[in-house]
DNA sequence: ATGAAAGCGCTAACAG
DNA sequence: CTGTTAGCGCTTTCAT
């Protein structure tokens, strides 16, 4: 454990004071080129590393950004984090990561952890169970906050979403075009805006195509494969089961697919299935799954950019205005809805 | 932006000194219950939050742990991070994450970032291109370091690996048992210990079963699907192509599978395929892929535990001894090698 | 262009 | 049991 050198050591070596060293190291202040070079050289020789705790304490800036997601192992979130991390790291920030595991309590706790660590800003996506968002609003009064994907409505908080309504309409358009008529919906909890929008888009789509909106075809749940199978079980015990399912997530869709396999239901012939997220696995399963691409990495990047924007606004002493960015989703048609199977043509 | 209160404010309110407050807040020191309660109450009322920068500066402890992986979007790594994050977060640490993108330069840079942020320890997995590991060794002289999965040999550094040799032997055992005789190997770069061990295990397995070790059946590469397809192309232009392929990663195996599909080669009849990692998608593709489970989440947890161990050793003033933990891999037999297809029986 | 001095908020010896 | 004191390493006026 070698002891690290400080600006005092450098000062001693060069024969000036610590304050002069500090200035020389930061470049911006007026200092003679000679001393600056001497300082730089000495710093090099001593293997000087600036003590971030000290400067953080002094300046109030930690160079830390927190990212809070339900779970890092979902490919949507890990891609988003990948995108954000790259942008933030390039801008000289370090990234802290926490998982809420879809629990509101955890979420609060982790956000608190960020506060204690003195992050300069946070990028977050809400957990499924999160209904009260007061603590987020509280937080965002103090520091920049950008929400992405799973957001709540608040004029004063920046967010990045995809146009989920639009996406769901596109999905129904496609299904209708393929001749599906009895389209069910397996949604997520509707207090999450994204899921709510998908639900609305689904309904709008049905109406647009003159299809019936049936309450008993609409479900709301956690993104759980087993739940999906249970729901399908009940649907297929009806005299008129659906001929297509719009799932609010790929994992739900996977559950539907498993159910179909177990019951020998032909996909896409007897049952069309659409997922949501374009998880990596959707293109590899059989039949490959029609889904909606959410541009996860780009969303992460955009979230990081908005946050950096806000931070720099604050440093310039301006009031940071909240912004929102909406990504236009892309329907990826694959075999699970391709009723007359032409040549497979992914992506 | 409400100004946050400090222990000085609390001290003033309760009518004692800051140092007494500090003791009261930390519980361990001898302090009367009365004052402690008064302090706690005042802290509550003032919404006191301890300033981590100040205490970090004073104590030299930041409560930060860095995790460095090639890419957070690989499910192996994101699961490992999930496991580690949970353990570390429970132990009161915050987790910083960086990606090396398999570049040694990035890796150095990110590790440096960790040093600047004054992390108390690092968990890392090497990038593919990393051949010089001096900067890791340098780092580990200063602070606890635990390597996992992609490690290098160094007595003094703790690591977590699976027994890759063992795993590869199991794979070959299984293939031999299924009657495959001409078994090729698509490996990763052999300077990565894990890949090297897999290679050795593969060879050992062949010898054990009296099968020929053919140099032109052995390849070394980056984990790239397209590369896999190219290699297979060349192998199947030989007069005696292989009847099975052991791939060092699931993504390589996926490339092999794609090749087989494009050439109408029957899997598992004509060609058996085994992957490595048990990525989520391997169980959903058709045919489902025989692979080796690496217990990614458990590895992450174990890495975190070893690191916490080392940190607590250091705090106790003991020399931290390096430990290694080896996970016994588990072969997951699925359809891509199940020559006589019995009832599907996953996991 | 450089130096002196003060202090960010907290903690840890040491006194009392 | 509680208070006093002295910094951790750095930045930042204000003087020189």
Q: Does this chain's domain A64-162+295-328 share its CATH topology with A164-294?
A: yes
Q: Show the 3-state SS of A7-46.
A: HHHHHHHHCCCHHHHHHHHHCCCCCCHHHHHHHHHHHHHH
Cα A63 → chain centroid: 21
Cα distance between residue A143 and residue A28, in whole Å: 27
Can you tell me the distance from the alpha carbon of A291 to that of A279, in angstroms, rounded to the nearest whole number? Answer: 9
CA A53 to chain centre: 30
pLDDT in the model for residue B218: 96
* The pLDDT of residue A26: 83
Position A344 scores a pLDDT of: 44
Determine the distance in angstroms separating the CA of A210 from the nearest CA of chain B, rounded to an integer.
35
CA of B256 and C1' of C12: distance in angstroms?
Answer: 63
Q: Tell if the CB–CB gap between B2 and A99 is shorter than 8 Å.
A: no
Nearest CA-CA partner of B188 in B103, B136, B129: B129
Q: What DSSP string runs through B171-204?
A: HHHHHHHTT--SEEEEEE-TTSHHHHHHHHHHHH
Determine which of B284, B298, B319 to mutate to test the interface with A (most A C-beta atoms within 10 Å): B284
Q: Among positive and negative, which fits the CA dihedral B233, B238, B239, B242?
A: negative
* Contact criterion met (CB < 8 Å) for A2 and B49: no
Q: Are B85 and A98 in contact (CB < 8 Å)?
A: yes
What pLDDT is recorded for position A340? 74
Determine the residue of chain A that is closest to B92 in CA distance.
A113
Contact B94 A96 (CB under 8 A): yes
Who's near B245: CB < 8 A, 6+ residues apart? B183, B184, B185, B186, B232, B253, B256, B271, B272, B273, B274
Q: What is the dihedral of CA A310, A316, A320, A326, to 10 degrees?
A: -40
In angstroms, what CA-CA distances link A324 with A82, A146, A195, A277, B317? 20, 9, 18, 20, 51
The pLDDT assigned to B68 comes to: 97
The reply to whether residue B284 touches residue A285, judged by beta carbons under 8 angstroms, is yes
Supply B16's token pair.
């004692």
In terms of Cβ atoms closer than 10 Å to its own Cβ (0-12, 13-18, 19+), residue B253 is buried
**CA atom of B58 to C1′ atom of D7, Å:** 9
Å from the B59 CA to the C10 C1'? 9
Contact A112, A88 (CB under 8 A): no
Q: How far apart are CA A268 and CA A282, in angstroms?
A: 15
B-chain residues near A73 (CB < 8 A): 75, 78-79, 81-82
- Do residues A281 and A203 lie in contact, with contact meaning Cβ atoms separated by under 8 Å? no
Contacts of B281 (CB under 8 A, 6+ apart): A280, A281, A284, A285, B250, B254
Question: In sequence order, what are the beta bridge partners of B332?
Answer: B291
From A193, A239, A191, A198, select the one nearest A218 (Cα to Cα).
A198
Kindly determine whether residue B72 and residue A94, on different chains, have CB atoms separated by under 8 Å. Answer: no
- Looking from the CA of B101 toward its CB, the CA atoms found within 13 Å total 10
3 state SS of A293 = strand
Distance CA A190, CA A199 (A): 8
Q: Which two tokens stand for residue A294?
A: 């959410």
Beta strand spans in chain A (E): 64-69, 94-99, 121-124, 145-148, 158-162, 183-188, 218-221, 244-247, 272-274, 291-293, 324-327, 330-332
Crossing angle between the packed helical segments A33-46 and A7-14, to the nearest 10 degrees: 120
| Assigned CATH topology for domain A64-162+295-328 | Rossmann fold (3.40.50)
3-state secondary structure of A134: helix
CA atoms of A14 and A24, how far apart (whole Å): 12
- How many Å from the N-terminal Cα to the C-terminal Cα in chain B? 53
* Residues 6+ away with beta carbon under 8 Å from A224: A251, A252, A255
Q: What is the pLDDT of residues A205-232, one digit of tens each?
A: 999 999 999 999 999 987 777 888 899 9
**Axis-axis angle for helices B193-208, B164-177 (nearest 10):** 40
Residue A159 β-bridge partners: A147, A324
A121/A126 Cα distance (integer angstroms): 16
Tell me which chain B residues have a C-beta less than 8 angstroms from the C-beta of A284: 254, 281, 284-285
- State which nucleotides on strand D lie below 7 Å from a protein beta carbon: 1-13
A141 with B1: Cβ contact below 8 A: yes
Tell me, in Å, how far CA of A143 is from C1' of C8? 19
> Are the beta carbons of A72 and B82 separated by less than 8 Å?
yes
Question: Which CA distances in Å does B88 have to A93, A97, A108, A123, B201?
Answer: 21, 11, 17, 21, 34
Q: What is the mean pLDDT of chain A?
A: 90
- pLDDT of the residue at B73: 87
CATH architecture of A164-294: 3-Layer(aba) Sandwich (3.40)
Where are the domains positioned within chain A? 7-50, 64-162+295-328, 164-294
> How many residues comprise chain B?
347
Q: What is the pLDDT of residue B346?
A: 45
Q: Encode pLDDT of A3-62 as tens digits.
A: 678 998 998 888 898 888 998 888 766 788 888 888 899 899 988 888 999 999 998 899
| Residue (of A58, A66, A1) closest to A26 by Cα position | A58
pLDDT at A30: 73
Nearest-CA residue relative to C1' of D2: B20
Q: Give the mutation candidate from A49, A52, A344 for the B interface (greatest B CB count, under 10 A).
A: A52
- Least confident range of A112-121, A200-209, A291-300, B195-204: A112-121
Contacts of residue A186, defined as CB under 8 A and 6 or more positions apart, other chains included, come to: A219, A221, A228, A231, A245, A246, A247, A248, A252, A253, A256
Q: What is the pLDDT of residue B1?
A: 42
Which residue, among A277, A276, A279, A282, has the nearest Cα to A334 in the 3D structure? Answer: A282
Torsion of CA A271, A274, A279, A284, to 10 degrees: 30
Q: Do the beta carbons of residue B127 and residue B103 sit within 8 Å?
A: yes
The CB density around residue B218, as the number of other CB atoms within 10 Å, is 16
Residues with CB under 7 A from strand D: A 6-8, 18-19, 22-23, 25-26, 48, 50-51, 54-55, 57-59; B 15-20, 23, 29-32, 34-36, 54, 57-58
Q: How far is the CA of A9 from the C1' of D9 (A)?
A: 11
**Phi and psi dihedrals of A195, rounded to 5?**
-70, -35
User: Which residues of chain B are under the pLDDT cut of 70?
Assistant: 1-3, 28-29, 341-347
**Residues paired with residue B330 on neighbouring β-strands, in sequence order:** B293
Contact B128, B192 (CB under 8 A): yes
pLDDT digits (tens, 9 = 90+) for A59-92: 889 999 999 999 998 888 999 999 999 999 999 9
Token representation of residue B279 = 């990525």
Upstream peptide bond of A268 is cis (omega within 30 degrees of 0)? yes
Q: Which H or E run contains B327?
A: strand B324-327
Rounded Cα distance between B341 and B286, Å, is 13
Verify if strand C has an atom below 7 Å from the CB of A23. yes
Concatenating the DSSP letter of every residue in B98-123 gives: EE-TT-HHHHHHHHHHHHHTT-SEEE
Nucleic acid strand C: bases within 7 A of protein CB: 1-13
- CB-strand contact A18/C, under 7 Å: yes
The predicted pLDDT at position B347 comes to 41
Predicted confidence (pLDDT) at residue A343 exceeds the cutoff of 60: no
Query: What pTM was computed for the model?
Result: 0.85
């Amino acid at each position: 454990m070698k002891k690290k050198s400080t600006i005092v050591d450098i000062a001693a070596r060069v024969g000036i004071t610590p304050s002069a060293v500090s200035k020389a190291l930061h470049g911006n202040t007026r200092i003679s080129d000679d001393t600056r070079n001497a300082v730089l050289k000495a710093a090099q020789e001593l293997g000087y590393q600036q003590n971030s705790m000290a400067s953080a304490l002094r300046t109030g800036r930690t160079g830390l950004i927190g990212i809070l997601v339900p779970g890092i192992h979902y490919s949507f979130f890990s891609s988003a984090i990948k995108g954000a991390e790259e942008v933030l790291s390039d801008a000289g920030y370090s990234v802290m990561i926490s998982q809420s595991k879809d629990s509101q309590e955890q979420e609060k706790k982790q956000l608190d952890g960020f506060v204690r660590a003195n992050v300069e800003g946070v990028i977050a996506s809400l957990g499924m169970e999160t209904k009260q968002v007061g603590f987020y609003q509280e937080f965002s009064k103090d520091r920049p906050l950008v929400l992405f994907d799973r957001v709540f409505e608040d004029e004063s908080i920046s967010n990045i979403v995809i146009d989920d309504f639009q996406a769901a309409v596109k999905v129904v358009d496609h299904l209708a075009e393929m001749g599906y008529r009895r389209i069910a919906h397996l949604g997520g909890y509707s207090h999450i805006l994204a899921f709510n929008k998908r639900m609305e888009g689904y309904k709008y789509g049905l109406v647009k195509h003159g299809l019936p909106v049936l309450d008993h075809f609409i479900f709301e749940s956690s993104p759980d494969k087993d739940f999906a199978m249970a729901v399908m079980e009940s649907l297929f015990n009806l005299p008129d089961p659906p001929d297509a399912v719009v799932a609010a997530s790929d994992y739900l869709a996977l559950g539907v697919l498993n159910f179909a396999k177990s019951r020998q239901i032909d996909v896409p012939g007897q049952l069309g299935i659409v997922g949501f997220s374009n998880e990596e696995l959707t293109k590899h399963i059989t039949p490959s799954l029609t889904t909606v691409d959410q541009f996860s990495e780009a969303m992460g990047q955009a979230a990081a950019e908005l946050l950096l924007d806000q931070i720099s606004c604050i440093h310039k002493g301006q009031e940071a205005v909240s912004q929102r960015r909406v990504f236009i989703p892309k329907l990826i048609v694959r075999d699970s809805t391709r009723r007359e199977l032409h040549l497979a043509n992914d992506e």
